[in-house]
């Protein structure tokens, strides 16, 4: 019989006393290193729904769905596909919300029982509709974010200053006009680019 080497004997005795070297996962939850780059997570409160992260994601792991016609609140659903993501961190790097709208976490567990329903995470952001045609313009938080960045320059754009007033609760929420003159009287409204052009170029009789 081949005798164990001294080092192996020492390791065997140490394992008997202190327990094995190997991780005890899954009995004990694995704790990742502090620098581990795990699954990115949206932050509902910080994200403004601008879609910059979707633009840069190299594998198409971020998507969005705009819902404006189901009778509920017009909203943008931001989707992150955890089974496609490669944890590169580009989304966090470009996030306009101080890199807080989406952030890499230390979550590493990616096994699912039901891949179809469990491999994605979503948040919802309220959409601003054009007050003439009802098309979506952007998320309300995004318009407010632009208005905050521009400061007093906001007052050159009715869409932006009205968005700001709405966020302060001074004017009403999403309204699509019943009366559409698309002329001067419609200029002081929140409008998409196409309706803004029409109201600016149309001459009322």
Q: Which residues bind ligand SF4 (CB under 6 A)?
A: 40, 42, 47-53, 57, 59, 61-62, 78, 80, 85-91, 95-97, 101-102
| 66: enclosing H helix or E strand | strand 62-67
Nearer to ligand SF4, 105 or 177 (CB): 105
Residue 45 CB, shortest distance to ligand SF4, in Å, is 11
- Per-position DSSP letters for 82-151, written without gaps between them: TTT-----HHHHH-TTTT-SEEE-S------SSHHHHSEEEEEEEEEEPTTT--EEEEHHHHHHHHHHHG
Query: Does 138 sit behind a cis peptide bond, omega within 30 degrees of 0 on the bond before it?
Result: no
- Which position's Cβ is nearest ligand SF4? 101
Nearer to ligand SF4, 142 or 164 (CB): 142
Residue 168 CB, shortest distance to ligand SF4, in Å, is 21
Nearer to ligand SF4, 92 or 171 (CB): 92
Residue 54 CB, shortest distance to ligand SF4, in Å, is 7
């Amino acid at each position: 019989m081949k005798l164990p080497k001294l080092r192996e004997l020492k390791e065997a005795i140490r394992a008997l006393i202190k327990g094995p070297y190997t991780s005890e996962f899954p009995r004990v939850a694995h704790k990742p290193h502090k620098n581990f780059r795990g699954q990115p997570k949206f932050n509902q409160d910080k994200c403004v729904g601008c879609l910059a992260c979707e633009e840069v994601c190299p594998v198409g792991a971020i998507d969005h769905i705009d819902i404006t016609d189901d009778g509920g609140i017009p909203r943008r659903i931001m989707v992150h596909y955890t089974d496609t993501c490669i944890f590169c961190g580009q989304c966090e790097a470009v996030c306009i919300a101080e890199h807080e709208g989406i952030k890499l976490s230390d979550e590493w567990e990616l096994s699912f029982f039901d891949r179809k329903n469990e491999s994605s995470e979503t948040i919802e952001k309220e959409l601003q509709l054009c007050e003439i045609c009802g098309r979506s313009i952007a998320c309300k938080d995004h318009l407010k974010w632009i208005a905050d960045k521009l400061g007093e320059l906001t007052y050159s754009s009715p869409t932006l200053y009205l968005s700001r007033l709405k966020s302060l609760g001074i004017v009403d929420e999403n309204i699509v006009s019943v009366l559409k003159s698309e002329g001067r009287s419609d200029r002081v409204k929140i409008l998409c680019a196409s309706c803004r052009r029409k109201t600016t170029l149309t001459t009322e009789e």
